[in-house]
Each structure stands twice: as structure tokens, then as C-alpha cells.
Amino acid sequence: MSPLSLLVPGMTCRHCVRKVTAALRDVAGVALVQADVSTTTVVLHGNAPVAEVLAALDGAGFPGTVIPPASEVRNRP
């Protein structure tokens, strides 16, 4: 699976990063979590189902959305 990029607007401080990272690490199939508070984005590596990833974020109080890969954005009509 290619990396999954997420926008998590509520992730505004280091405490938020720790909470988001911990919640995502608990999802089966997540191999690596890279969170960046300055851009409020998270990049996941592994093979976790997207629905489970989003549910984990919601459960931690940080709803997020998937950022489509640049190739998908460029190829839209």
C-alpha cells in the first residue's frame, strides 16, 4: 500500500500529535505514523483499511479526511 495522507485540522499542538499518533498506532496494519502539527497532516505507512484509520481518528476526538494523491488531483476532469 502506498502511504496514506490525512488532513487532521484539530491537531494543533504536540499533545494532539501524541494522541493522534497513539490512536493510529493501535490500528491493525499501521506500520509507521508521521504527524506534522505545522501542516496538521498525518502520513501513514502500512496496509490498514482507510475506514478503520478514520474511525480511530474520530474515536480519539480528531476527525480527519483523506488527502488524495497528487496524481489523482491532476487527472480529474
Beta bridge partners of 41: 7, 36
4-74 folds as Alpha-Beta Plaits (3.30.70)
Residues 52, 44: Cα–Cα separation, whole Å: 12
The mean pLDDT value for 36-48 works out to 96
CA dist list (Å): 39 to 36, 74, 77: 6, 21, 27
- Reported confidence tier of residue 75, pLDDT bands at 50, 70, 90: low
pLDDT in tens, 13-39: 999 999 999 999 999 999 999 999 999
- Residue-range domain boundaries for the chain: 4-74
Asked if residue 5 lies in contact with residue 42, where contact means CB atoms within 8 angstroms, the answer is yes
pLDDT of 44 reads 96
Cell of 13: 499542538
Residues 8, 40: Cα–Cα separation, whole Å: 5
pLDDT of 77 reads 58
pLDDT of 72 over the 60 cut: no
